Amino acid sequence: MAKENSPKFIYKNKTMIQKGGGHSIWFLGFIGALVYYLHVHSGTFWLVILAFLKALVWPAFLVYHLLH
């Protein structure tokens, strides 16, 4: 029985490679959010940590403000 190749996956040398590029777009969004939040929360060490944590969850803020 032949293997079915779905459009999402390419099989090369028994290794499954998934097509996708969302991670690089998310990373660019993370860098942009980090720069923005560092500009807003510049000051003490804990505000910089807060800016980093906010940059990690920026998609949640985006969805909340779009749906609110």
Percent of the chain with pLDDT over 90: 28
Question: What is the arithmetic mean of pLDDT over 29-53?
Answer: 90
What integer pLDDT is reported at residue 2 of this predicted model?
54
* Average pLDDT of the residues of the chain: 79
Q: Mention every residue, 6+ apart, whose C-beta is less than 8 A from residue 55.
A: 30, 33, 34, 36, 37
* Domain-located, residue 60: yes
For 34, the token pair is 């980090």
Q: How many domains does the chain have?
A: 1
Single-letter amino acid code for the residue at 55? A
Question: What is the arithmetic mean of pLDDT over 35-63?
Answer: 89
* Domain-located, residue 19: no
* Domain-located, residue 7: no
pLDDT at 49 over 90: yes
Spatial distance between the Cα atoms of 61 and 63, rounded to a whole number of angstroms: 6
* Domain-located, residue 51: yes
